[in-house]
Amino acid sequence: MTLRWMIAGAAAFALALLTLPAGLTHSHAHAAETGGAIAGTVAPACDVDARPANFDFTLQDMNGEDVSFAELQGKVVLLNFWATWCGPCKIEVPWFVEFAEQYGADGLVVAGVSIDDTADKIQEFATQYDVNYPMLVGLGRDDFMESYGPIWGVPMTFFIDREGTLCRTHAGIAAREEFEKDITDLL
């Protein structure tokens, strides 16, 4: 019985880590490690561990249409891995809808990749949340997820700059303001 409680406690702790608030997400961990930005300087647009993003993929969207990631090069991309059953994802998606509308003309592309849902479930979700950006089917596309990941949980969000650099990562939910800052830093 004690072993079950220990396993349950460990699982609850792991789940809590995936839903940490904004200040503890990966993208700003470097500022904490280095003592933050020096007064009067601008924070770098990319994290110190930034790497090239992989654009050599084509995924299907929820309507069965092919979406080539090569066409996203030269734009700022908010790439969000999510699932229809994910509570924090349901909080973030309306923000991403607003960002796509507000910053799309400035060169932002928002793309959502459902990690394990079928196209029909994604369509229902997109209708319910009035999603205005591509919702892609990631089911069976471990190759794509591994090229950006590993994806250990959802939500997981990546920011790619116009040069194709995978600049920032948020593992778990972040504050709306933090996402918006990441977008404006890269635009």
Residues carrying an active site annotation:
86, 89
Cα(68)–Cα(159) distance, rounded to whole angstroms? 17
Would you state the structure tokens that stand for residue 89, as one six-digit string? 């994802």
- In this structure, are residues 38 and 117 in contact, taking their beta carbons and an 8 Å threshold? no
